[in-house]
Amino acid sequence: MRLLDPSQEPLPETIWCEYCGGGCEIRGGVPDFSGSSKPPSLWYVYFRGDGCEYQRFCPFLFEYFATAKFFCAIYEIKPKCCWEFDREECEFLQKDVARERAERSRVSGS
């Protein structure tokens, strides 16, 4: 999704991603931006996880027209770690989130 495209550009339907935004949590570490352009230094701070103490998700993750679906605003120049995030890792994280929710429900229901 590119922000300069028409405002009603549909989200792609041909990939495995469900646009939940879960893969765009800030994990920390040094981001590796490939290509010839160098991003602003503040971007490195955010991707390391130092941008805001309470910032859980990437600041470049945008919601698509209040649909609870999310897209990357810097998709074409995003760091290597984002490009490497794949379906297998996504499925693992979804199962982990489901397990944590079930555990919280069990604890709060007792």
pLDDT at 30 (0 to 100): 67
pLDDT at 37 (0 to 100): 67
pLDDT band at 107 (very low <50, low <70, confident <90, very high): confident
pLDDT at 19 (0 to 100): 87
Residue 15, number of CB atoms within 10 A of its CB: 9
Q: Using one digit for the tens of pLDDT, what is the confidence trace for 57-90? A: 888 888 888 888 888 888 888 888 888 888 898 8
Q: Using one digit for the tens of pLDDT, what is the confidence trace for 43-60? A: 777 777 666 667 778 888
Question: What is the C-alpha to C-alpha distance for residues 50 and 29, in angstroms, rounded to an integer?
Answer: 10
CB 19 within 8 A of CB 64: yes
Residue with tokens 């309470």: 54
CB 94 within 8 A of CB 21: no
